Amino acid sequence: MSERPQSSRSGASFAAVLRGALQQLTPREQLSALLLAGALLALHGFDYGATTLACLEQSSQRALAAFAIARGLNAVISVIQSAEVGLTVGISAALSPGEVLDPLNDLIERFSLVMLVASVALWLVRLCGGLLFEASLLWGVTLLFLGSLALCRSGHAWGRGLGWLLQWGSRLFLAALLFALATPLLVEAVHDAGYVERQYRASSDGLRGTQQRLESLSRQIDGGAPTAETPCGDWSSCIGERVSRFAETLSGASRVAERIETFARQAGQVASDASQQVVIQIAIFLLETLLLPLAVMLLCWRLLLR
């Protein structure tokens, strides 16, 4: 009976001491102390580093998959643009109907650059997170922060200056740690939202379908090799053969023109559909690798460094 009141009194006295110690701190020092305490509890309560790195792994895989799709589209378009269709009606001409895909090729090149930058940015966050999630570093910063509190309240000017410098370094570490923790979790939460995930899956499937359609167009544009002209006999048969060949040439030119027109129409539709999917992908990755990290960075700066 007597042990329980004694333990409750000791708990109440500890809470009172802790409350009194917090009241002696400035608001920013209180926030830093609470964040450090929360980070230490989370470090020993669950492996937040592994959870965060797993989220970054998923984001990196998405960026690399989009980059691979973009490079595949570039390769197929390059093959189509290098193909030529020969046409001879009096004079010989070589047409390149694949040039109609030039605007799409430029857009996909920019898309691949965005995906490359996104992949590099995500890997930088992963590397920084792997360094910041070390337990020894967190304990060291905690000790430096406690030492800075004592130095800031010393009676010497050099002590207060050194204490302020240590506090600023501790807040900088906390801001980087909070950024490395919050950004991947926020990005995954936004990506897993129903609307964003549906748009991402639809655009990814659309781009894969675009690659298959372009490969089909590449096979269509490959015409057969021209047949060699055989020498004719006497002049009367030669005239007849030349008239027949000219008629075949006109018929072949008409078929080539129809094929080019069909190709241009199909390529224009493919380019229109692919452009829409590329714009959606760029918007999603700009949101996840630029806008959301900037928002988290601004929040960390306002909370701890301003």
Residue 41 lies inside a defined structural domain of this protein: yes
Give the range of the structural domain holding residue 249, as residue numbers without chain letter.
24-225+236-305
Asked if the structure places residue 91 within a domain, the reply is yes
Whether residue 17 is contained in a domain is answered as: no
Q: What is the pLDDT of residue 15?
A: 54
> Does residue 267 fall inside a structural domain?
yes
pLDDT of residue 14: 45
pTM above 0.75, yes or no: no
Q: Do 159 and 100 form a contact (C-beta atoms < 8 A)?
A: no
Q: Which residues of 58-86 are buried (b: 16+ CB within 10 A; e: fewer)?
A: ebbebbbebbebbebbbebbebbbebebe
pLDDT tens-digit readout, 227-282: 444 555 554 445 445 445 544 444 444 555 566 677 777 778 888 888 999 999 99
Domain count, the chain: 1
Q: Is 231 contained in some domain?
A: no
> 268 lies in a domain?
yes
Per cent of the chain over pLDDT 70 is 73
Residue 124 in any domain: the answer is yes
Helix, strand or coil for residue 88? strand
Q: Is 85 helix (H, G, I), strand (E, B) or coil?
A: strand
Q: What is the pLDDT of residue 269?
A: 84
Asked if residue 53 is part of any domain, the answer here is: yes
Euclidean distance between CA atoms 162 and 25, whole angstroms: 17
Q: What is the pLDDT of residues 3-34, one digit of tens each?
A: 455 555 555 554 554 565 556 778 888 888 88
Token pair 């040439």 in the structure block, residue? 249
